[in-house]
Amino acid sequence: MEIQNVILRGSFNPTVSSVQTRKARLFTKLAVPFLSEIGFPKWVSMKCDCSFHSDTKRNLQRCRNRAQKAECKGISDVEEDKPKAKIRRKNLAVFVSGGGSNFRSIHEATLNGSVHGDIVVLVTNKHDCGGAEYACCKGIPVIVFPTRKDKEDVFSAEDLVIALKSLKVDFILLAGYLKLIPAALIRAYPKAILNIHPSLLPAFGGKGYYGMKVHKAVIASGARYSGPTIHYVDEQYDTGCILAQRVVPVLAKDTAEELAARVLHEEHKLYVEVSAALCEERITWREDGVPLIQSKENPNNYR
């Protein structure tokens, strides 16, 4: 069954210029053998509308080098440019539905060495969102999930698990993804799916609490503090184990937009810190089931 909705580097656009079409064909020629080589299912359909970026070739070559190194050295301590202390570089999947500013900050952190990992795929329910556009321009494959209801070719949760396992994804980071993650995916990635929420959970979380709705509710409540929460994902919205939080003040005359901007600024820093801890294997679990982050500077300190 050909899967129509696995889109690499953006959705197909019939108005694409002839130059872009030629470039898209070049990417298809380049990517399919590579993706097939690393075992990415051959039923991937190739639809692109972004102009070909030279860094795509470098990215794919870098991944190919790492894949080949992994073959000959064993997965454990394959290192790319900067060897880290025997910790395997992790593969990340990021899920978005909107602009993707958290996605971008994590991606930049993987490129500048702050996060010891690579974003190998973006998953979104909105093929034309800002996050998908950014992924397209950076040569990051995009999977659309869930498919729109009117699509005859349904790409199931099980198909998504196959695709993510094919890409050897270690961790899934939700960053503004607005759909419920299905149980099949949660079972396939135990203690490996995180979400960032723009309030101090458990307050102002759950179904209906997303985006500006959260900040409006915080202001209307008279709360004096808010801030981002990063938590593990379970089968309900926002009820998983809390891993990290940051606090920001709610000012007397704050608009929802002003509060949102203050919280988002902290989100970007917090998600990079947490992603770094995840990829460096600095997450431990307390006996009562609370996850802790081991300090990089002082391994005897946890938060």
Ligand X SMILES: NCC(=O)N[C@@H]1O[C@H](COP(=O)([O-])[O-])[C@@H](O)[C@H]1O
Ligand Y SMILES: Nc1nc2c(c(=O)[nH]1)N[C@@H](CN(C=O)c1ccc(C(=O)N[C@@H](CCC(=O)O)C(=O)O)cc1)CN2
Query: Which residues make up the interface to ligand Y (CB under 6 A)?
Result: 174, 177-181, 195, 197, 207-210, 233, 235, 237-238, 240
State the minimum distance, in angstroms, from the CB of residue 171 to ligand Y: 15
Q: What span, in angstroms and rounded, lies between the C-alpha atoms of 226 and 234?
A: 23
Q: Are strands 90-96 and 117-124 parallel, antiparallel or unpaired?
A: parallel
Confirm or reject binding of residue 49 to ligand X (CB under 6 A).
no
Q: What span, in angstroms and rounded, lies between the C-alpha atoms of 135 and 48?
A: 12
Confirm or reject binding of residue 133 to ligand X (CB under 6 A).
no
Single-letter code of the amino acid located at 78: V
Binding mask 201-240 for ligand X (x = CB under 6 A): --------xxx--x--------------------------
State the minimum distance, in angstroms, from the CB of residue 197 to ligand Y: 4
Instruction: Answer with the entry of ligand Y, ligand X, none that 180 interacts with (C-beta below 5 to 8 A by kind).
Output: ligand Y
Confirm or reject binding of residue 175 to ligand X (CB under 6 A).
yes
Does residue 265 carry a catalytic annotation? no
Look at residues 100, 84, 81, 50 and name the one whose alpha carbon lies nearest to residue 264. Answer: 100
Window 258 to 297, contacts with ligand X (CB under 6 A): 264, 267
Q: What span, in angstroms and rounded, lies between the C-alpha atoms of 66 and 89?
A: 10
Judged by beta carbon, residue 7 or residue 175, the one nearer ligand X is 175
State the minimum distance, in angstroms, from the CB of residue 267 to ligand X: 6
State the minimum distance, in angstroms, from the CB of residue 186 to ligand Y: 6
Which strand (E) or helix (H) includes residue 174?
strand 171-174
Among 24, 35, 96, 144, binds ligand X (CB under 6 A): 96
Look at residues 282, 204, 209, 302 and name the one whose alpha carbon lies nearest to residue 250. Answer: 204
Among 7, 56, 100, 274, binds ligand X (CB under 6 A): 100
Confirm or reject binding of residue 242 to ligand X (CB under 6 A).
no
Q: Which residues are CB-contacts of 116 (< 8 A; sequence separation ≥ 6)?
A: 84, 87, 89, 90, 276, 279, 280
Q: What span, in angstroms and rounded, lies between the C-alpha atoms of 266 and 262?
A: 7
Q: What span, in angstroms and rounded, lies between the C-alpha atoms of 47 and 97?
A: 19
Instruction: Answer with the entry of ligand X, ligand Y, none that 235 interacts with (C-beta below 5 to 8 A by kind).
Output: ligand Y
Confirm or reject binding of residue 182 to ligand X (CB under 6 A).
no
Catalytic residue among 197, 215, 231, 268: 197
Look at residues 69, 117, 114, 113 and name the one whose alpha carbon lies nearest to residue 90. Answer: 117
- 76-to-73, 86, 278 alpha-carbon distances in Å: 8, 8, 16
Confirm or reject binding of residue 198 to ligand X (CB under 6 A).
yes
What is the contact surface with ligand X in residues (CB under 6 A)?
Answer: 96, 98-102, 175-176, 196-198, 209-211, 214, 264, 267
Catalytic machinery residues: 197
